[in-house]
Structure 1
Amino acid sequence: MKTRSLATRPSRTRLALGIATAVALAGTFATGATGQQGTPEWLAELSDDSAGGDWPAFGRTYGEQHHSPLDQINTDNVDELGLVWALDLPVGNPATGPIEVNGTIYTATGYSVIRAIDVETGEVKWTHDPKAPQASGMKLRQGWGSRGIAYWNGKVITATQDGRLIALDEETGAPVWTAKTLEDDALRFISGAPRVFDGKVIIGHGGADSGPIRGYVTAWDADTGEYLWKFHTVPGNPADGFESEAMEMAAKTWSGEWWKLGGGGAVWNSITYDEANDQILLGTGNGAPWNHKIRSQGEGDNLFLCSIVALDAKTGEYKWHYQINPGESWDFNASMDMELADLVIDGEERQVVMTAPKNGFFYVIDRTDGKLISAEPFVEVTWAERIDLETGRPVEAEGVRYEGGPVTFRPTPLGAHSWMPMAFSPDTGLVYIPAIDLEVTFDDAGITPENFEFTEGMGLSPGVGYAIGDGGKDVTGWLIAWDPVKQEPRWRLPMPVHLTGGVLSTSGNLVFHGQPDGSFTAYDAGTGKKAWQYDAKAPVVAPPISYSHKGKQYVTVIAGIGTSAGLFGPMFKQYGIDYRMQKRRVLTFALGGDKTLPENEPYTPVAFPDADYMPNPELAELGEGIFNMRCAVCHGTGAIAGGTAPDLRTSMIAANEQAFRAVVRDGILVPNGMPAYGELTDRELAGLRQYVRARAEMLRSGRNDSESASTVKPNMGK
């Protein structure tokens, strides 16, 4: 196995060898099992016009449409769809997008634990565990493991929490090469899916919510693991010189000493390859910190935050950009999936990229030059009046930058659309969006550039306090069929909770979509009428896939809660989703399937016995601040867990001071994904324990323990 490191920049000789390798591969492609024009079948399947026999990438193809052109399963016979097999998974984050190639399903659950599964039988062929929690150190404090994987030329490629890219042999699971994409001491982590294109694999990272991060992506040779190129998304210290003309241009849109706070712009999720124009589209993230006043003296657009950035796919050089939120100040970002299409607009066929980012507007952008074509709200939006089509800039609502005190608006930092992907059907011309409709209040009272510091050790540090809630609405989530040409909904269906699953559309005129209540549903793509439903007996938030093997079409989805759902435990508690008891399964369906799932045991949280508990409001308040900054993202707002991590109100660990210290400070559960917080003082540790015990006492006494959704009080990051 070869191991590569980002720390070693390739020489000209190594770059030349990379070019030679590409030429050699081109010769290999011409002699292998081929499709049209000498292209190997596996490579042909990555193109947007492929037949859909396999699902080899996160969005099936380069264009990320999450659409299958298969129609064996359709509106006429979907009532015959049934379970073929189910594979139980161990405890860990299951909310990931699988892939399928030539009769084998590959999943990356937990912390990038890869399994190869036989499509017909559900039997595991091999498993590879990269032991990412043990390797992650402080990087384990954010993120939930892998959201997806990639396939290239006989290799399954995964990215780990600690920053490795690992290519595994598709037949054996043995590592072929490993590349180290993040520095050891960097407060960064990877949770997004790698993408492959033109013999390369590209990956970004997360971390801009909790540390001084300067975002970047790196590209590597997909066959050898050789480092190829790197693109920063925000500029660094001008005194060090700029890596490119793009960074020199971007620096003119920043103010003050922004580089000391990193800047942000992490590409933590969405990357799309535009094969027609041989360019990579990056969806960049929020500022670090979020607060524009802290980050850049409240001045400048801060390129390339919250932007779509096009790069030359061969060199990584900048081509164009479109910034969705200039001077981003709300954790709005452009990291939601970007889907490619050719649409007829005003009588002219246009090559477009479509995205429904956090800010609530649906964007259609010309992908040849980055010019905005249209943008309209797909949920209720109050932070801006509209997007000016002449300038491409939002017309912001008065006071929305919380310059005059607290301000309330829609949507929220959770977004009007989260990472769970939408789908575009070329058959109906519609985009199917799992949308979110919540409200947020921002307030940065007491926070100034002089007193702000990032919380030590990757604690949430937005530079502003915020609280998310429903704002009095009964419906907080939608499945929307959106017409991207007319920029209006064709139909929309209310969802019982805000955070629902990723979407799959098919040429059988079907849309598949899961929900946290365990329902997995197929809708008529044209009308939204429910056509089929299955009780998965576990939450379904991962994106489904569909493919064909030996003439039979299958649909596969992974059931089980994970990722950012954990923060919103109060909204999910009605479903009784427990970290330990919930089922995590790979479910595969086909026409005529007749397998059944066992019934679940009902779950109600019961507080742990705590005979020595004594109230201490001052100590509990100290602990609440620590919990909000470090723990709530997994263990839930108000310690009401959503299933991503254990409900601490029911855990005996908090009842014992020594056990609590061993877990929280000494890290004895790191292999299970529980980070160590060795820097906490005795008093901070005692405060955190007191807060958890107080929340358990509230549950025990039957007092109202509900929280709106999530609340982070104003803080200086200390």
Structure 2
Amino acid sequence: MTKDYRYRRNIACLIAAIFVVSCGATNDSSSPQETASAAKLRDNSSGDDWPGFGRTYGEQHYSPLQDVNDGNVGKLGLAWSMDLEPGNSVTGPIAVDGILYFASRYSLVHALDAQSGKLLWTYDPKAPEASGQKLRQGWGSRGIAWWNGKIYTATQDGRLIAIDARTGKPVWSAMTMGADDPRFISGPPRAFDGKIIIGNAGADEAAIRGYVTAYDAETGKQLWRFWTVPGNPADGFENPAMEMAAKTWAGEYWKHGGGGTVWNAITYDADTDTILLGTGNGSPWNHKIRSAGQGDNLFLCSIVAVDAKTGAYKWHYQINPGESWDFNAAMDMQLADLDIAGQRRKVVMTAPKNGFFYVIDRTNGKLISAEPFVKVTWAKRIDLATGRPVEMPNIRYEKGPVTFSPTPIGAHSWLPMAFSESSRLAYIPAIELEVTFDDRGITPANWKRKPGMALDYAVSSAVSVPKGAGDSLSALVAWDPVTQKQAWRVPTPLHFNGGVMATGGNLVFQGQMDGLFNAYDARSGKRLWSFAAGAPVIAPPITYRAGGQQYVTVLTGNGTSGGFLGPLLARYNIGYREQARRVLTFAIDGKAVLPAPAKYVFAPVEDADYRADRASADRGQAIYNARCVVCHGGEAIAAGPAPDLRASGAILSPDAFAAILGEGMLVGQGMPRFSELSPGDRDDLRQYLRTRAKESIVAR
């Protein structure tokens, strides 16, 4: 190699470094626009933008920005706010080149000037109207993506749509599933290497197989698809990975779908050009029904690595072999390079539902360490030699009911944790509850799935508050992934707390159900700043620069699965229409002031014609728990994602009830149609809700 060539190559590397990490090989597209897009998404990017759900490919939910820091965060104030319409507002925003983008309700995408809050455009794909049965168990968008001047949103009904980021006009749309598939999408798409990848959900409600699909970011052309569990062997296998996985299943598993949906977690490792998939639970949950109680059931509850260009299988690590408790591995997966035992290791970290914090070698899938970050009673430990959990006796409820921690809600739910490159700690929104599982009377011979995308696990599960727990049912936990020990812990109200963001300013931001948005010292956990938002703050916050100034943005309001345990949240009086759904944006010396929040007072309807009928109410409760509970709350106590039906005038009128459930009068507002319910079913459901309203009046 001549000296002149080395000189010219070094100059070329210097120029390329503006766009990419190094002069070495890059897996990103070669055009200047594509390479610039990749530069924004690299983990070592400047932090001026927040272009993806986790900011960068590594999904760390970390920004290196330091303009807002532990020394001046006390001067952080509201710069501007924007009120939002009723519907889901628990979504991760993104920010690129001074423009803030987010999706509320059912993929209603907004673009705002980040400095002023001025609305630039909205795009409404009319997802509720297009969703049909797919509307029944989802809540709308949890996040969006950006690549090369386009915004990407995935809709409840299964479309992946590219939108011109400047004009808000759709560029292309691709249907990611069959029109009649009992699937839906609520998770955010991810952008990488000129591609967009999306998964789907629905394994709790229907007999489906999980998969992800990658599309060309410019054209919407499908590039590859990876199935996460095998189908009917008689139909052949899509690839050798599915043939391998089929050997870990038993019985006629394909008739039950299998599950393994990739409904949330997807991470791109640019160093190895690998996509990491976090897969979901089995369909149904009960291993005895799903797979005759035999086999590990790959690739359920796993991290699966596939080639980013082709979708070909590389490796996997299964977190819960033979999954039986909805301990899925779909919580965010974060990349880092850690010094472990004197060696620099490329790792992926995750804190899934089962309560253990995992550190895994992301080049080969080998387990490095795993320790509990909450109280765990379902397993003694994770065996580091085999990578498998050492399960407690009867944990598969083979000898009768069993109570344990954590629960199907998870020790950590979908709301993301963060990993700070500066403090080298992970920050987990942890949950402390317990659950009782019981499948007595349920056998392969008598179990038949409920039709119409109804919750149906082939086992009963009852979530409860541990004795003596009081109000401390969740916490913000700072965790050292090298030592696998807790650095600090801050209790948070009740059972559901917000997504987390860490910054180079030695700060950790997180919202709470009680309406506080807090900033903590990243190393000590001391609360340094707090803002009363007047509504729950559980969406993940972001930070970015616009006009040379650092901003922090978060959305308020309770949505998605945050209202499932309504009885625990009743004290906060979170009304569906009254709660303050807003975009809040903060800056140093911000002076804006929020209006006083609307006060919600729960008032159950007075029902002069009510007559008790316990048998009818019990039948109605079964219908409610299968079809209504995820939105309207346990025991018909709602907490924000949908109206409290005990206070709805619709339950007083059989005609109004029929118009809503049978004719779909409120589909455009996100209320699905249940036309298969017979008049008798509707009467039973209405009787249950009228009974709950009466009981609420008596209890006041």
Please state if 1:652 is matched with 2:649.
yes
Aligned match for 1:608, one of 605, 608, 612: 605
Q: Supply the AA of the counterpart residue of 2:614.
A: P
The aligned counterpart of 1:398 is: 393
Q: Percent identity?
A: 62
The aligned counterpart of 2:618 is: 621
What is the Cα-based RMSD across aligned positions, in Å?
A: 1.0
CA distance in 2, matches of 1:413, 1:27: 44
CA distance in 2, matches of 1:360, 1:403: 22
Classify the secondary structure of the residue corresponding to 1:352: strand
Aligned match for 1:98, one of 82, 93, 98: 93
CA distance in 2, matches of 1:460, 1:168: 34
Cα displacement string for residues 37-90 of structure 1 (whole angstroms, at most 9, x for unaligned residues): xx42x4311000111100000000000000010000001100000000000000
Cα displacement string for residues 245-299 of structure 1 (whole angstroms, at most 9, x for unaligned residues): 0000000000000000000000000000000010000000000000000000000
Aligned match for 1:379, one of 374, 377, 384: 374
CA distance in 1, matches of 2:312, 2:120: 41
Shift of 1:337: 0.1
The aligned counterpart of 2:21 is: none
Cα displacement string for residues 471-506 of structure 1 (whole angstroms, at most 9, x for unaligned residues): 211221010000000001000011111110000000
Give me the TM-score of the superposition, normalised by structure 2: 0.95
- Map 1:560-639 → 2, pairs under 5 A: 560-639=557-636
Shift of 1:631: 0.3
Q: Supply the AA of the counterpart residue of 2:244.
A: M
Give me the TM-score of the superposition, normalised by structure 1: 0.93
The aligned counterpart of 2:669 is: 672
The aligned counterpart of 1:516 is: 513
Cα displacement string for residues 306-352 of structure 1 (whole angstroms, at most 9, x for unaligned residues): 00000000000000000000000001100000000000000000000
Shift of 1:26: 4.6
The aligned counterpart of 1:7 is: none
Shift of 1:601: 3.2
CA distance in 1, matches of 2:591, 2:100: 20
The aligned counterpart of 1:237 is: 232
Classify the secondary structure of the residue corresponding to 1:620: helix
Shift of 1:209: 0.3
CA distance in 2, matches of 1:221, 1:565: 34
The unaligned stretches of length 5 or more in structure 1 are 1-22, 704-718
Shift of 1:27: 5.4
421-430 or 596-605, which deviates more: 596-605
The aligned counterpart of 1:367 is: 362
The aligned counterpart of 2:475 is: 478
Please state if 1:642 is matched with 2:643.
no
CA distance in 1, matches of 2:111, 2:658: 38
334-343 or 564-573, which deviates more: 564-573
Q: Supply the AA of the counterpart residue of 1:159.
A: A
- Map 1:135-174 → 2, pairs under 5 A: 135-174=130-169
Cα displacement string for residues 8-30 of structure 1 (whole angstroms, at most 9, x for unaligned residues): xxxxxxxxxxxxxxx9x95531x
Shift of 1:549: 1.4
CA distance in 2, matches of 1:232, 1:452: 26
Classify the secondary structure of the residue corresponding to 2:297: coil
The aligned counterpart of 1:271 is: 266
Shift of 1:568: 1.1
Classify the secondary structure of the residue corresponding to 1:266: coil
Q: Supply the AA of the counterpart residue of 1:547.
A: Y
Is the 8 Å Cα contact of residues 578 and 599 (structure 2) preserved in structure 1? no
Please state if 1:498 is matched with 2:495.
yes
The unaligned stretches of length 5 or more in structure 2 are 1-25
Shift of 1:666: 1.3
Cα displacement string for residues 555-600 of structure 1 (whole angstroms, at most 9, x for unaligned residues): 0000011010121111111111010111100000000101111112
CA distance in 2, matches of 1:447, 1:27: 56
Shift of 1:647: 0.2
Classify the secondary structure of the residue corresponding to 1:45: helix
Shift of 1:237: 0.4
Please state if 1:297 is matched with 2:292.
yes
Shift of 1:108: 0.6
CA distance in 1, matches of 2:234, 2:72: 65
Aligned match for 2:436, one of 436, 441, 445: 441
The aligned counterpart of 1:713 is: none
Shift of 1:239: 0.6
The aligned counterpart of 2:330 is: 335
Q: Supply the AA of the counterpart residue of 2:431.
A: I
Classify the secondary structure of the residue corresponding to 2:564: helix
The aligned counterpart of 1:76 is: 71
Is the 8 Å Cα contact of residues 115 and 547 (structure 2) preserved in structure 1? no
Please state if 1:194 is matched with 2:197.
no
Classify the secondary structure of the residue corresponding to 2:400: coil
Cα displacement string for residues 591-613 of structure 1 (whole angstroms, at most 9, x for unaligned residues): 01011111123322111121100
When residues 308 and 26 of structure 1 are mapped into structure 2, their CA distance, relative to the original with a 3 A threshold, is closer
Q: Supply the AA of the counterpart residue of 1:423.
A: A
The aligned counterpart of 1:323 is: 318
Cα displacement string for residues 93-147 of structure 1 (whole angstroms, at most 9, x for unaligned residues): 0000000000100011100000000011101100000000000000000110010
